Structure 1
């Protein structure tokens, strides 16, 4: 049995990842602020076990309890692999620094950086004695490598997550059964997050017209296409731990 923990699984890329993993050989643990009953039904029709947890990652103090609940449901004696996919993310606030309240900075960092860091830590701690394959994917962004006007929080969180991925990779390198951890840059996907970006004013986000053109010109990748590319990467034995993989290079 393969176990997958997927955050932000109710829509967009997270939903597409879960959809592509529906199989009787997999057990999915999906986490998002809202459930997705259609996904649960589709999994049931294919005899794929799925547990859906409605959880807001702004509540950092209870993430360890959430992790405990999930890992108690994993039968490690029958596990071939366990994989965590940190996909949940928010772009807001999309404004120049100084133009938004402090709680929006806190919320952005909670969801994009601190919550996934805690989940990675819990994953490593709770699987360190197991012998099955262990994998972690942190969904990154090209914004982690390039500054954008109005994206101070989002760019910073993604850059920090990439560095965290690299640090964990270094720590795991010489362990007997290391966790294989990577960051994945999915490119520009046709999701609700992109719709939110297109609704910004030019005053808040200078490149809004460029992103509107991406949609108009059909340059956005479908969540399903990106999910398939990601899963190919996850299942590729040549994938190296601690690395950042960009979909444009695959």
Structure 2
């Protein structure tokens, strides 16, 4: 595999993940989608439900198996998978759905990020770990407690791991408000469950949403920048970097 890039993208079956897989900037890259259903632009699919802790161990073994004997030039893991549902007051939403959201948004990025760092630790090549975050990590929205807290956890995990000598550039990237199926779900929610819903409806009406393709291009541009490990950036602020 000399000269090649090996790239994992979680949640590459649709939305930003699929756009990332379809627009990888290295023509010789091998791309693997980590998701439940697959079917996106990635050439390969490793089926895994990333809201299930038992599946995290499978992904870690998969990393180790794929990297056994790897002699390429570049390794990248973009953790894109996440969910904004269930939307509503924490005490009112479905308990099982809420638990899945906490596991997917908060725990999975840390556990899978650690697994990638461990699997790549002995390899002498270019290594990148990219976590997708959100402005919701800083600004709380009533009805989004599992999502807000999950993205805040991602940001601080990246800042902390970025201080460690792991030989991998670790960054978090907020893509802005992107026109995906997740945004469609948000706009359908009643104001009683999500008081800020009208703001997101207005963004759609006024053309204030980015496309998945534009978000993917911005995320790949961050990978190619010489940002310090531990950086947390918003694509809307890149011109100021």
How high is the TM-score relative to the length of structure 1? 0.89
Residue 93, structure 1, aligned to residue 86, structure 2:
yes
Which residue pairs with 2:10 in the alignment?
7
Do 1:31 and 1:55's aligned partners in 2 also have CA atoms closer than 8 Å? yes
Distance in 1 (CA, whole Å) between partners of 2:195 and 2:17 is 28
Which residue pairs with 2:232 in the alignment?
244
Distance in 2 (CA, whole Å) between partners of 1:54 and 1:76 is 23
| Equivalent pairs, count | 235
Do 1:184 and 1:246's aligned partners in 2 also have CA atoms closer than 8 Å? yes
Residue 223, structure 1, aligned to residue 212, structure 2:
yes
Do 2:63 and 2:116's aligned partners in 1 also have CA atoms closer than 8 Å? no
**Compared CA separation, residues 28 and 110, structure 1 to 2 (3 A):** same
Do 1:2 and 1:80's aligned partners in 2 also have CA atoms closer than 8 Å? yes
Which residue pairs with 1:170 in the alignment?
163
**Compared CA separation, residues 205 and 162, structure 1 to 2 (3 A):** same
Do 1:86 and 1:138's aligned partners in 2 also have CA atoms closer than 8 Å? yes
Distance in 1 (CA, whole Å) between partners of 2:91 and 2:58 is 35
Task: Specify every segment of 5 or more residues in structure 2 that has no aligned partner in the other structure, as ranges.
Answer: none
Which residue pairs with 1:45 in the alignment?
none
Q: CA RMSD in A?
A: 1.5
Distance in 1 (CA, whole Å) between partners of 2:137 and 2:90 is 17
Task: Specify every segment of 5 or more residues in structure 1 that has no aligned partner in the other structure, as ranges.
Answer: 41-49
Do 1:198 and 1:208's aligned partners in 2 also have CA atoms closer than 8 Å? yes
Residue 153, structure 1, aligned to residue 146, structure 2:
yes
Which residue pairs with 2:34 in the alignment?
31
Which residue pairs with 2:224 in the alignment?
235
Do 2:174 and 2:234's aligned partners in 1 also have CA atoms closer than 8 Å? yes
**Compared CA separation, residues 74 and 151, structure 1 to 2 (3 A):** same
